[in-house]
């Protein structure tokens, strides 16, 4: 037992030191820099248009878990009750022609279907088949203005009293596998997976794939959105904004 | 190998710091989803080949459950760990440390030689030639440098969704993303096992001379 106490004490001292570094200004800057190096390395080694792995129908996982919010509150239950007939997806912000689309409008756009692997930051993975228009189709229809640098995804769900949101830069926004999905495995999206619309950002972790999508907003900076971190978990827990790792 | 080269000593201590932080923050990441699978996907416990016990807080960085903080450390230290490994491989190949001291020769793989080495270790007899490695040491360092350390880098890359477009073939060689994650865990614990063995053998053989030689380089003809 003594040896274990010694180990625990040594570990506590070491961990306390690590936490002091992590809480210092240089430590914070170093973590942010490391995230940037990863993003740069990924962008350097993976061509801009390179596709995330796609799978065959027989690879699909039998059950696609829902994480985070799995049953939103507020107006959502009423929308769910009438089959999302009145659901609107706005495309707004730094665009020349703001749009407000019904699910029917979205279903009539050119569609992309892809079988991809979803990787959660916690470590699990699931394979599913997603269908929906490419985000680039919507952004081109709305016409991005010169100043636009990021695309923010607004959501109908709240977690612990704050609205869920996420964001990507234009490289990921215009990637051909970045779609606004309304179908999973050939059926309308289940509520736990983000009905009626969710994002697929296939080269990043699951928390970037905003569910219960209500608006797509083009912005020049993320500073004034939420707490400025670029997403719900980024603001709340300090998760990486670039979630390709 | 009369002295440890400066590159060896520098890398040794840098790598120790990296491995300790990567391992301890890795335990927090394991706690986030303590199940391991083979193949591409997995969530349910029934599909897991291993239900990993929860690692208690004092073993982890940051000392309590905080996945974001653990990932901050893990992804930062991945850089000096991977670049350091590249550095020591280049240095070992250039200065002859690898070819002279670590690479085994065919003759050393004879069962009799290995059995003798094992027996000597069990007797805690470490009086083999000064400044040279015995077969078990060479084989162990070979596995650590050739498989475990680079394996941790490559399985780590394979887990990253942002690298999948270019490195999909590597994920497939490993049998899928969840297999890569399992291997990352296995290699991590193999390094931990090496660490325990390494420290134990240093303590049992000649701890003061070993420490001195890994810090100052040691006296000529004495390591």
* CATH code for the domain of B86: 1.20.950.20
Task: State the DSSP H helix or E strand holding residue B35, giving kind and residue range, or none if neither.
Answer: strand B35-36
Which residues in chain A touch residue B171, judged by CB atoms under 8 angstroms apart? 53
- Quote ipTM for the complex: 0.94
- List Cβ neighbours of B71 (8 Å cut-off, separation of 6 or more): A121, A239, A240, A245, B25, B29
In a domain, A242, yes or no: no
Flag if A245 and B162 touch (Cβ within 8 Å).
yes
Searching chain B, which residue's CA lies closest to the CA of residue A45? Answer: B166
Q: Do A46 and B165 touch (CB under 8 A)?
A: yes
| Residue A91, beta-bridge partner list | A99, A216
Residue A15 shares a structural domain with residue A86: no
In this structure, are A36 and A56 located in the same domain?
Answer: no
Q: Is the torsion defined by CA of A94, A97, A99, A105 positive or negative?
A: negative
Question: Which of chain B's residues have a Cβ under 8 Å away from the Cβ of A51?
Answer: 165
Q: Tell whether A190 and A78 lie within a shared domain.
A: yes
Does residue A208 fall inside a structural domain?
A: yes
Search chain A and give the residue with CA nearest B72: A31
Provide the number of structural domains found in chain B: 1
Nearest Cα to Cα of residue A56 among A127, A131, A118, A134: A127
A244 within a domain of the structure (yes/no) = no
Model pTM score: 0.94
Asked if residue A90 and residue A22 are part of one domain, the reply reads no
Q: Are residues A7 and A111 in the same domain?
A: no
Query: Would an 8 Å CB–CB cutoff place A151 in contact with chain B?
Result: no
pLDDT of residue A1: 58
Same domain, A38 and A63: no
Backbone angles phi and psi of A233, in degrees to 5: -75, -30
Residue A129 lies in a domain: yes
Check A124 against B35: CB less than 8 A apart: yes
Q: Is A40 on the interface with B (CB under 8 A)?
A: no
Q: What are A11-50's pLDDT values in tens digits?
A: 999 999 999 999 999 999 999 999 999 999 999 999 999 9
Report d(CA B165, CA B50) in Å as an integer: 28
B223 inside domain: no
Optimal mutation site among A12, A39, A123, A236, interface B, most CBs of chain B within 10 A: A123
Read off the pLDDT of each residue in A120-130 and give the average, rounded to a whole number. Answer: 97
Tally A–B CB contacts below 8 A.
136
Q: Is B189 a domain residue? A: yes
Show the domain range for B42: 6-215
Total residues found in chain B within this entry: 223
The residue in chain B having the minimum alpha-carbon distance to the alpha carbon of residue A40 is B162
Tens digits of per-residue pLDDT, A71-110? 999 999 999 999 999 999 999 999 999 999 999 999 999 9
Task: Decide if A243 is inside a domain.
Answer: no
Q: What is the pLDDT of residues A185-198, one digit of tens each?
A: 999 999 999 999 99
Assess A168–B contact: CB distance below 8 Å, yes or no: no
Q: Is B222 a member of any domain?
A: no
Query: Taking a C-beta distance cutoff of 8 angstroms, is the pair A139, A173 a contact?
Result: yes
Per-residue confidence of chain B (223 residues) as pLDDT tens digits? 457 899 999 999 999 999 999 999 999 999 999 999 999 999 999 999 999 999 999 999 999 999 999 999 999 999 999 999 999 999 999 998 898 889 888 888 899 989 988 898 888 888 776 668 889 999 999 999 999 999 999 999 999 999 999 999 999 999 999 999 999 999 999 999 999 999 999 999 888 988 888 999 876 544 4
Residue B86 located in a structural domain? yes
- What is the per-residue pLDDT for B3? 78
- Do A89 and A149 lie in one domain? The reply is yes
In a domain, B41, yes or no: yes
pLDDT score at B43: 95
| Strand ranges (E), chain A | 88-93, 99-102, 112-119, 125-132, 150-159, 162-169, 179-181, 183-184, 187-188, 198-200, 213-219
Q: Are A120 and A193 in a shared domain?
A: yes
In angstroms, the separation between the Cα of residue A67 and the nearest Cα of chain B is 11
A164 touches A232 (CB < 8 A): yes
Cβ–Cβ contact B69 with A under 8 A: yes
Residue A136 sits in the same domain as residue A181? yes
**B169 in a domain, yes or no?**
yes
Give the number of domains in chain A: 2
Query: Is pLDDT above 50 for A203?
Result: yes
Are A208 and A166 spatial neighbours (Cβ–Cβ below 8 Å)?
A: yes
Which residues form the domain of A2? 1-45
Q: Say whether both A32 and A74 belong to one domain.
A: no
């Amino acid at each position: 037992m003594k040896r274990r106490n010694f180990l625990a004490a040594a570990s506590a001292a070491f961990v306390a030191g690590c936490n002091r570094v992590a809480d210092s200004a240089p430590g914070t800057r170093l973590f942010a820099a490391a995230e940037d190096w990863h993003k740069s390395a990924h962008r350097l080694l993976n061509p801009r248009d390179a596709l995330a792995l796609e799978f065959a129908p027989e690879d699909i996982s039998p059950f696609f878990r829902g994480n985070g919010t799995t049953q939103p509150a507020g107006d959502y239950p009423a929308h769910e009750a009438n089959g999302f007939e009145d659901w609107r997806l706005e495309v707004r912000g730094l665009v020349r022609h703001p749009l407000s689309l019904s699910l029917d409008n979205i279903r009539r756009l050119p569609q992309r279907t892809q079988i991809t692997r979803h990787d959660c930051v916690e470590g699990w993975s699931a394979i599913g088949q997603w269908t929906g228009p490419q985000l680039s189709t919507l952004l081109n229809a709305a016409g991005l203005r010169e100043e636009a640098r990021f695309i923010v995804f607004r959501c109908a769900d709240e977690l612990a009293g704050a609205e869920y949101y996420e964001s990507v830069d234009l490289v990921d926004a215009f990637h051909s596998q970045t779609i606004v999905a309304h179908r999973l495995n050939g059926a309308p999206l289940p509520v736990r997976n983000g009905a009626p619309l969710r994002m697929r950002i296939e080269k990043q972790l699951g928390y970037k794939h905003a569910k219960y999508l209500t608006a797509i907003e083009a912005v020049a900076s993320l500073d004034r959105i939420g707490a400025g971190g670029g997403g719900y978990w980024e603001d709340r827990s300090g998760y990486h904004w670039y979630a390709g790792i | 190998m009369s002295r440890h080269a400066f590159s060896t000593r520098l890398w040794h201590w840098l790598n120790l710091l990296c491995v300790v932080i990567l391992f301890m923050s890795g335990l927090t990441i394991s706690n986030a989803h303590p199940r391991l699978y083979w193949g591409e996907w997995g969530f349910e416990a029934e599909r897991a080949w291993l239900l990993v016990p929860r690692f208690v807080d004092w073993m982890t960085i940051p000392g309590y459950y905080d996945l974001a903080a653990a990932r901050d450390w893990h992804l930062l230290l991945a850089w000096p760990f991977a670049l350091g490994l590249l550095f020591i491989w280049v240095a070992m190949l250039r200065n002859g440390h690898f070819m002279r001291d670590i690479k085994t020769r065919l003759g050393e793989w004879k069962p009799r030689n290995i059995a003798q080495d094992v027996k000597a270790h069990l007797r805690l007899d470490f009086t083999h030639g000064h400044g040279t490695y015995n077969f078990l040491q060479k084989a162990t360092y070979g596995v650590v440098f050739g498989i475990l350390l680079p394996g941790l880098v490559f399985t780590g890359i394979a887990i990253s969704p942002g690298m999948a477009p270019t490195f999909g073939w590597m994920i497939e060689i490993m049998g899928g993303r969840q297999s890569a994650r399992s291997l990352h865990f296995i290699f991590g614990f193999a390094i931990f096992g090496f660490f325990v063995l390494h420290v134990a053998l240093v303590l049992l053989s000649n701890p003061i001379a070993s420490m001195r030689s890994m810090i100052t380089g040691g006296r000529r003809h004495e390591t």
